[in-house]
Amino acid sequence: MDAIPMLVEMVETLSFSRGEGVLAQLLVKRMTELGFDARVDEAGNAVGYVGVPPSEAEHTIVLLGHIDTVPGCIPVRVVDGKLYGRGSVDAKGPLATFIQAVARVEAAPQTSIVIVGAVEEEVASSKGAHFAATQYQPDACVIGEPSGWDAVTIGYKGCQWVDVQGARDCGHGAGPVGAISEEVVRFWNRLSQEAPAYGPAGDGLFDSVDLRLDQFRTGSDGLRDTARATIGMRLPEEFRAAAFKLRACELADELGLEIEFRGELPAHTGSRADGLGRAFGRALASRGVRPRFLKKTGTSDMNVVGPAWKCPIVAYGPGDSSLDHTPNEHIVLEDYERAIEVLSAALVVGEWARPRRESSLVSASS
């Protein structure tokens, strides 16, 4: 299937987190038609490879995207060269780029080029990436996330969530005992004030500790009042996690609250100077683009597989990441096609692939 119709079909197929099965099967079908060996793995990921099987390969590169999206139905339509729809940017556009780019090249001898469309990236489980981390030991990895077709992402901040809750006997509003909701608010105020001190000394966005009050709920059954808050944290490298957790537990105990930490992922940074970074740099330069290498304040599956694989790793894909999760999510189709060309060229330059005879891709010796 041609590049644009395949992407439209992917965006039209709803795949909210934990409901990705239909899209996974569709991608296996499309990859098989394009010459991949493809299947749905035990985690529900859509997996396809070209070249030798990963278990037999001397060299392996894994292109890891995700097939789930956040909720929200956006009417799928093409207007003025832009494809609107949930997941068009985050991250079906990058994953479609992977499939189309690999279909345009041939794997180098004794090489496996593996594409993984992972499930549950948009929820704290990252089920698909955690499973993939146990299945491969690649020499390099590209994560499918929107960087813009003319840029490469080399780092993401880490994250974790803090759930804090409390309960207290009901009392009259004019009585001497304050509301349990006030204690939860005090916890939020103090934690947000103190948390930045547990990060590094740098003052850039990538070095900062960022907190957001994601949820705040109160309730009562007439006998007990309850309050609960969920705090999302974006964490830099060198974040002193153990010391922070100890302090957060002290604050919760002082205020009579219960606390739970979940979804912790450390920050992870690749390099623009290793073989993978240089391959993308040369591929972009061959198209008249001065390469840009970005560090982002969000997270991705790079945070899961990067520490496990300890190989050169970047994230790449078309699309404007500021449109992620928004009602206006859309991708410029010309940028999508450019990204396919860049990724195909990067695979050739990095010597994981060679161009097909009919291809005009840049050669590894250019």
The one catalytic residue in 20, 90, 106, 121 is: 121
Alpha carbons 317 and 357: distance in angstroms, whole number: 25
Alpha carbons 239 and 233: distance in angstroms, whole number: 11
Six token digits for residue 152: 């490469």
What DSSP state is assigned to residue 361?
A: P
Six token digits for residue 141: 């990895």
Determine phi and psi for 49, rounding to 5 degrees: -140, 155
Determine phi and psi for 335, rounding to 5 degrees: -65, -35
Count of alpha carbons within 13 angstroms of residue 239, beta-carbon side? 24
Q: Label residue 120 left, alpha or beta by phi (over 0 means left) and psi (-120 to 50 means alpha).
A: left
Q: How many CB atoms lie within 10 A of CB 210?
A: 17
121 catalytic per annotation:
yes
Six token digits for residue 291: 């390469």
122 catalytic per annotation:
no
SS3 54: helix
CB 248 within 8 A of CB 191: yes
Among 236, 64, 219, 247, CA closest to 158:
236
Alpha carbons 256 and 169: distance in angstroms, whole number: 13
The one catalytic residue in 20, 68, 225, 335 is: 68
Query: CA torsion 34→35→37→38, rounded to 10°?
Result: 10
Question: Most distant CA pair in the chain: distance in Å?
Answer: 82
Which position has the token pair 């795949």? Answer: 15
* C-alpha R_g of the chain: 23
Write out the catalytic residue numbers: 68, 121
